[in-house]
Amino acid sequence: MANPKTDKTILRALAGETLPTPPIWMMRQAGRYLPEYKATRAKAGDFLSLCYNPELATEVTLQPIRRFGFDAAILFADILLIPQALGADLWFVTGEGPRLSTITGEAELAQLRGVDDIHETLSPIYQTVRNLRQELPKETTLIGFAGAPWTVATYMIAGKGTPDQGPAHELKGTHPAVFDALIERLTEATIEYLSAQIEAGAEVVKLFDSWAGSLNGPDFDRYALEPTKRIITALKKRHPDTPVIAFPRQAKDAYIGFAKATGADCVAVDDSVTAEWVAEHVQPGGCVQGNLASSHMVTGGDALVSQTRRIVQALRNGPHIFNLGHGITPDANPDNVQLMIDTVRET
């Protein structure tokens, strides 16, 4: 658990403290909605070059802290760096997103590298973490992250993002041994990757299971809950004082009890559930994070203010970190981000 005596409000919330004003950060807060990010991205040349350049990745991580004064910075990287470190081909298509070489059977799986071999590729990421610990304001918490095994596997199997994660579900049904072996490899790699981030200076780590909502019943338990539990258990054994935030996006009723079942210090919730529901069903189990719809960062206005206030008020009787229900989008207006922050801190 985090030290409740710290000045860092996010660590206090993660330790279970109910604060008069919730700490705030924002998923994808360093990104394409900021003109200063676009300028740095142009200097890097392309997205992956930016991820692997510690100087520039440090710069874009710091940009939203300088502009907005968030209570936390999240490492600038991508969830698909682990597949690349395992030997998958990875590239980004402008306007369309990531593309990977695919895992469809035993032959492709056998070509992946071992977990012990990922650190050479990922060493620039660890250097970015070290840089950030030196350069962040003393009151700002540094968050590291990784994608959860199920979510990362969906991209590795399809070769890109898909609306329903259909290729992964198909492989899970037709070649369960291959699918299970891929989940196992990703689980072990994620433990090593997050542990290395913590050793480099990350004070909190977050596990993004962006496509957890497409898993149901026993599949959710087996491929979302259990890998998360394994990762957190391993990290707590090595780094008992480092809090972990879990985000099984669109888990619906499976949000209930997720923290207790996995050992997570906080459960991030998306905006498909209301803050009032979260207060009743999830927050009694510990810290929650969320959950303003990211569309408000585009549209702004009175609706942004009223929904922000509603979330703060609904979750004010327990530990809460204010955030969006999903990442901020490239068409967001930075002025709306400032309005959200001001509203949280004035409510």
* Burial category of 102 from C-beta neighbours within 10 Å (exposed 0-12, middle 13-18, buried 19 and up): middle
Token pair of 240 as six digits = 């008992």
Catalytic hit among 33, 37, 52, 155: 155
Output the six-digit token pair for 185: 């490899």
- C-alpha–C-alpha distance, residues 132 and 211, integer Å: 29
CA–CA separation, 331 and 190 (whole Å): 31
Mark whether 28 is an active-site residue: yes
CA dist 270 and 66 (Å) reads: 26
Query: Three-state SS for 187?
Result: helix
Beta-carbon neighbour count of residue 65 at 10 Å? 20
Q: Is residue 78 flagged as an active site residue?
A: yes
Among 8, 57, 68, 29, smallest CA distance to 241 is for: 8
- The reply to whether 253 belongs to the active site is no
Catalytic-labelled residue, pool 37, 71, 78, 265: 78
Residue indicated by tokens 């207060």: 279
Set 12, 33, 37, 41: catalytic member: 41
147-167 core/surface letters (b: 16 or more CB in 10 A; e: else): bbbbbbbbbbbbbebbeebeb
Task: Write out the two tokens for 302.
Answer: 């009175």
Residue 145: in which H helix or E strand, if any? strand 141-147
Known catalytic residues are 28, 32, 41, 78, 155
